[in-house]
Amino acid sequence: MSDERDGELTVGAWLLVPFTFVLLVLALSLCVDAVFGAFTWQLTAPSALSGAATAVAIGASEAVAWRTDRQRDWLRRGYPVGFLVLGILIGGVALPSIAILAGTVPATALLVAGWRPGTGAEPDPAPPVDAPTTGTISGTIGGPDITIPTTSPRHAAGS
């Protein structure tokens, strides 16, 4: 069963969500290190980061256009748990900074490419042209509020 709503992720893009999250956090960490002059050529990914990425993947699974009910049931639950277990197993492994920076841009681009933005949203209607508007002018703190009837420039030109 396919649920076609606006603004959804494809399954492939959703599979990239936890990896992209981890890469973006590590890349931001490298940028902060560089600003403070503590840049290193290796960065250790804490296992808690995989827990946060798993939570993001679970939250993003609400926006996925699942192809089948079976896919929604098994992949939606199994993939984040598998990512969490993998993150715990490799937690504390030093990753090369250049690999983090080189992987962040393509992963983010692929994630954005897999997002289908909504096109069905309609803008809020404009206020009627003939309706007069009123405004409130507030004085100093504790001063009186004065309401002055005003008209829009379009309304005044038409009278």
For the entire predicted model, the pTM comes to: 0.66
pLDDT for position 3: 46
Q: What is the DSSP letter of 159?
A: -
Tell whether the model's pLDDT for residue 18 goes beyond 90: yes
Q: What is the pLDDT of residue 138?
A: 54
Is there a contact between 61 and 16 (Cβ–Cβ < 8 Å)?
Answer: no
**b or e along 54-86 (b: 16 or more beta carbons within 10 Å of the residue's beta carbon)?**
bebbbebbeebbbeeeeebeebbeebbeebbee
Banded model confidence at residue 113, pLDDT cuts 50, 70, 90 = confident
Contact 44/95 with Cβ under 8 angstroms? yes
pLDDT at 116 over 90: no
CA distances from 26 to 10, 91, 100, 146 (A): 25, 13, 7, 54
Average pLDDT over residues 43-62: 92
